[in-house]
C-alpha cells in the first residue's frame, strides 16, 4: 500500500496523534488535507513532546516532506509562530521539508473576530467552535472572496482581493456592531507576512503526483472526526470542512484512485467537544469516570470533553462514508475496571429501531440509544503489546466492536506510548 488516509471516525480527539506519528515514520510524505489550527495533535518523539496545530505531524521527523494541501485553511501568522516554536525544540523546517499549496485559502484576523463575535452574541447561533476563524474562512472560499497563498505574490492582485473581501465583511461587521476593517493596516500586515509564506508555496498537486510516480509513500493526515464533517456530520454542530476520507483527494489534488488504505481512528468509548447531539452521552458518574481516566480535555481550547458509551451505530456509519479499510482502536485501557460496559447498537424512534442516525435534527433529538451490555474486566490492559496480554473480556469487547461497525482492527493502542500498540495489519505493508 503506497498511500494511506487517516481519519477520525467519531467527533475528533480519537488519539490520531500517536497513530499518525507511528505511520509517519513509515511514510515519505505527510499531507494535511482539511481543517486548520482548530486541530491539536500531541506527539511524543524520543521523549520530547510536540504540540502541533497547523503543521503536519511529519515535520518533527527528519527526511520527510510535509505538505499543507489546498483543503486546509491557513492562518499565516499562527503558522509562523508554530514554525518558530517547533524550531526552538531543535527541529529543522525549510522549503525542502515543508510545502504549502499555492491555492490554500488564508485565515485573516477578521475571520477569527467574526467567529468569536457570532459565538458570543447569539445563543441560537452558538456551535461551540474553537474561535480560530475556521468557519468564516471556508465561507469566504466558497463565496469566492478568500485570499489564497498565491495572491500574496503580486501586490496589485492582493489589493484587489482585499477589496473584494472587505465589501462583504464590512457590511457584515456593520450589522454585528463591529468596527470596519482597517484596509491599509491589513494590507501592511499581509505584505509583511507574504515573503515568509511564499517561501514554502508550491503546486502541491504536481509534487504529490511526482512523488507517487517515484513510488513514495504518502500519508494523508486528517484532523477532527467524520461526525464533524460539513455534509455527513451532526449539522450544524460540525466544522466547516469535509473531514471524511474522500477529502484527501480534493484537499490535495490527487485522484481518488490513489488512496489505497483508509484507517479510521476509533476511541473505545465516545467523546465530543462543543455543542450538538450526542446520543450516548453520560451525565452520571460513569461519564465523569471516563473523562477523568481518559484525560478528556481539549488540546486546542482546554475545554472539558463530553463523554459517553461507545456508539457502534455512528461508527458503522462513518466507516461507510469514509470507506474505512481498517480501524485503529484507541484508549481501551480507559475502560479497565468497569463492571459492565454498554455499546449502542441502534436507536429507537417512534416505535422502530433504526440502524443509523437520521439526518433531521428533531428526529435525532428523539432517538433513544439501544444498548447491548457486556461484562467488563478488572485487570489492567494499559501497555498491552499482544492479544495474550489482554483479558478475555477485553478481547470479546474488541471483537464485538469489529462485528458491529463492520470493519476490522488493524491497530490497537493501549497507552500514549508508541510501543504500547498491538499491530494486526500494517496499513503500509501490503
Ligand atoms: P470549528 O472547527 O472551530 O469551527 O468548530 C466547530 C466544531 O468542531 C466545534 O464543536 C469544535 O469543538 C469542533 N472541533 C474543531 N476542531 C476539533 C478538533 O480538532 N477536535 C475535536 N473537535 C473539534
Say how far apart CA 86 and CA 73 lie, in whole Å: 20
State the burial class of residue 283 (Cβ atoms within 10 Å of its Cβ: 0-12, 13-18, 19+). exposed
Options 3.40.50.300, 3.30.565.10, 3.40.50.2300, 3.40.440.10; CATH of 4-104+198-258: 3.40.440.10
Whole-number Å distance, alpha carbon 116 to ligand 1 midpoint, is: 13
State the burial class of residue 218 (Cβ atoms within 10 Å of its Cβ: 0-12, 13-18, 19+). buried
26 annotated to a ligand binding site: no
Lowest mean pLDDT among 97-101, 234-238, 301-305: 301-305
Higher-confidence residue of 42 and 282: namely 282
Q: Which of 51, 239, 296 has most ligand 1 atoms within 8 Å of its beta carbon, as the pocket-test mutant?
A: 239
pLDDT band at 17 (very low <50, low <70, confident <90, very high): confident
Is 368 strand, coil or helix? strand
pLDDT score of 1: 65
13 annotated to a ligand binding site: yes
Residue 121 has pLDDT above 90, yes or no: no
Q: Which of 51, 114, 137, 224 has most ligand 1 atoms within 8 Å of its beta carbon, as the pocket-test mutant?
A: 224
Whole-number Å distance, alpha carbon 133 to ligand 1 midpoint, is: 11
| 331-347 pLDDT per residue, tens | 999 999 999 999 999 99
Q: Which of 274, 300, 303 has most ligand 1 atoms within 8 Å of its beta carbon, as the pocket-test mutant?
A: 274
Does CATH place domain 109-196 in 1.10.300.10? Answer: yes
Ligand 1 atom closest to the CA of 275, numbered from 1: 10
In this structure, the strands spanning 352-354 and 340-349 are: antiparallel
pLDDT score of 45: 82
* Number of H-type helices and E-type strands within the chain: 12, 18
Say how far apart CA 334 and CA 377 lie, in whole Å: 11
pLDDT score of 122: 67
Q: Whose CA is nearest to atom 10 of ligand 1?
A: 274
pLDDT score of 305: 95
Q: Which residue has the cell 482585499?
A: 162
| 378-390 pLDDT per residue, tens | 999 999 999 999 9
In this prediction, residues 140-169 reach a mean pLDDT of 98
Q: Whose CA is nearest to atom 21 of ligand 1?
A: 12
pLDDT score of 417: 84
User: 327 forms bridges with which residues in the sheet?
Assistant: 264, 409
Q: Cα dist. 296→40, 132, 162, 305, 329 in Å?
A: 13, 21, 40, 5, 16
Q: Whose CA is nearest to atom 19 of ligand 1?
A: 39
State the burial class of residue 410 (Cβ atoms within 10 Å of its Cβ: 0-12, 13-18, 19+). buried
In this prediction, residues 286-302 reach a mean pLDDT of 89
Handedness of CA 338, 326, 1, 48 (dihedral sign): negative
Residue 325 has pLDDT above 80, yes or no: yes
Lowest mean pLDDT among 151-155, 213-217, 416-420: 416-420
| Backbone φ, ψ for residue 354 (5° rounding) | -100, 145
123 annotated to a ligand binding site: no
Q: Give the predicted TM-score (pTM) of the model.
A: 0.96
pLDDT score of 181: 98
Whole-number Å distance, alpha carbon 315 to ligand 1 midpoint, is: 18
User: 294 forms bridges with which residues in the sheet?
Assistant: none
Ligand 1 atom closest to the CA of 135, numbered from 1: 4
Closest by CA to 19, choosing from 381, 267, 233, is 267
In this prediction, residues 237-244 reach a mean pLDDT of 97
Say how far apart CA 107 and CA 135 lie, in whole Å: 10
Return the H-helix or E-strand segment holding 120.
Answer: helix 109-121
pLDDT band at 418 (very low <50, low <70, confident <90, very high): confident
Options 3.40.50.620, 3.40.1010.20, 3.90.170.10, 3.40.50.720; CATH of 267-429: 3.90.170.10
Whole-number Å distance, alpha carbon 346 to ligand 1 midpoint, is: 25
Measuring from each residue's beta carbon to the nearest atom of ligand 1, which residues come in under 6 Å? 12-13, 38-40, 127-130, 132, 134-135, 223-224, 228, 237, 239-240, 273-274
332 annotated to a ligand binding site: yes
Q: Cα dist. 78→84, 132, 342 in Å?
A: 10, 10, 41
Whole-number Å distance, alpha carbon 130 to ligand 1 midpoint, is: 6
User: Can you give the residue ranges of every domain in the chain?
Assistant: 4-104+198-258, 109-196, 267-429
Q: Whose CA is nearest to atom 5 of ligand 1?
A: 129
304: preceding bond cis by omega (within 30 degrees):
no
**Average pLDDT taken over every residue of the chain:** 95
pLDDT score of 300: 72
Say how far apart CA 322 and CA 249 lie, in whole Å: 12
| 169-183 pLDDT per residue, tens | 999 999 999 999 999
User: Who contacts 79 (Cβ-Cβ below 8 Å, separation ≥6)?
Assistant: 37, 54, 55, 197
In this prediction, residues 97-125 reach a mean pLDDT of 93
> Could you give the residue numbers annotated as active site?
13, 41, 141
Say how far apart CA 151 and CA 307 lie, in whole Å: 43
301 annotated to a ligand binding site: yes
Other beta carbons within 10 Å of 235: 14
Q: Are 56 and 96 in contact (CB under 8 A)?
A: no
38 annotated to a ligand binding site: yes
Say how far apart CA 237 and CA 78 lie, in whole Å: 25
Q: Whose CA is nearest to atom 15 of ligand 1?
A: 38
Whole-number Å distance, alpha carbon 145 to ligand 1 midpoint, is: 23
Say how far apart CA 281 and CA 306 lie, in whole Å: 7
Say how far apart CA 81 and CA 55 lie, in whole Å: 11
Residue 47 has pLDDT above 90, yes or no: no
DSSP state of 264: E
Amino acid at each position: 500500500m503506497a498511500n494511506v488516509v487517516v481519519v477520525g471516525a467519531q467527533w475528533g480527539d480519537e488519539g490520531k496523534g500517536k497513530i499518525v506519528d507511528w505511520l509517519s515514520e513509515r511514510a515519505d510524505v505527510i499531507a494535511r488535507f482539511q481543517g486548520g489550527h482548530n486541530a491539536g495533535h500531541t506527539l511524543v518523539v524520543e521523549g520530547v513532546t510536540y504540540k502541533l496545530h497547523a503543521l503536519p505531524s511529519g515535520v518533527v521527523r527528519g527526511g520527510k516532506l510535509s505538505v499543507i494541501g489546498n483543503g486546509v485553511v491557513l492562518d499565516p501568522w499562527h503558522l509562523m509562530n508554530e514554525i518558530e516554536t517547533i524550531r526552538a525544540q531543535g527541529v529543522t523546517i525549510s522549503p525542502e521539508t515543508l510545502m504549502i499549496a499555492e491555492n490554500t485559502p488564508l485565515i485573516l484576523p477578521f475571520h477569527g473576530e467574526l467567529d468569536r463575535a457570532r459565538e458570543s452574541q447569539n445563543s441560537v447561533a452558538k456551535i461551540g467552535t474553537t474561535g480560530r476563524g475556521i468557519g468564516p474562512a471556508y465561507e469566504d472560499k466558497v463565496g469566492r472572496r478568500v485570499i489564497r497563498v498565491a495572491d500574496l505574490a503580486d501586490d496589485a492582485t492582493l489589493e484587489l482581493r482585499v477589496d473584494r473581501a472587505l465589501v462583504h465583511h464590512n457590511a457584515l461587521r456593520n450589522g454585528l456592531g463591529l468596527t470596519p476593517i482597517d484596509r491599509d493596516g491589513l494590507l501592511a500586515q499581509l505584505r509583511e507576512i507574504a515573503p515568509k509564506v511564499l517561501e514554502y508555496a508550491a503546486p502541491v498537486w504536481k509534487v504529490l503526483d511526482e512523488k507517487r510516480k517515484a513510488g513514495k509513500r504518502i500519508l494523508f493526515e486528517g484532523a477532527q472526526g467524520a461526525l464533524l464533517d460539513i455534509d455527513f456530520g451532526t449539522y450544524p454542530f460540525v466544522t466547516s470542512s469535509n473531514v471524511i476520507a474522500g477529502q484527501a483527494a480534493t484537499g490535495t489534488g490527487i485522484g481518488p484512485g490513489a488512496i489505497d488504505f483508509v484507517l479510521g481512528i476509533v476511541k473505545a468509548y465516545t467523546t465530543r467537544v462543543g455543542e450538538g447531539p450526542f446520543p450516548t452521552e453520560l451525565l452520571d458518574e460513569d461519564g465523569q469516570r471516563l473523562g477523568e481516566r481518559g484525560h478528556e480535555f481539549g488540546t486546542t481550547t482546554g475545554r472539558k470533553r463530553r463523554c459517553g458509551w461507545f456508539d457502534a451505530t455512528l461508527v458503522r456509519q462513518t466507516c461507510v462514508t469514509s470507506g474505512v479499510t481498517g480501524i485503529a482502536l484507541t484508549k481501551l485501557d480507559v475502560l479497565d475496571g468497569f463492571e459492565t460496559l454498554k455499546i449502542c447498537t441502534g436507536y429507537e424512534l417512534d416505535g422502530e429501531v433504526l440502524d443509523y442516525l437520521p439526518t433531521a435534527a428533531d428526529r435525532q433529538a428523539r432517538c433513544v440509544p439501544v444498548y447491548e451490555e457486556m461484562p467488563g474486566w478488572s485487570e489492567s490492559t494499559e501497555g498491552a503489546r499482544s492479544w495474550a496480554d489482554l483479558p478475555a473480556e477485553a478481547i470479546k469487547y474488541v471483537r464485538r466492536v469489529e462485528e458491529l461497525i463492520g470493519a476490522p482492527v488493524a491497530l490497537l493502542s493501549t497507552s500514549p506510548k508508541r510501543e504500547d500498540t498491538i499491530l494486526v495489519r500494517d496499513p503500509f505493508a501490503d
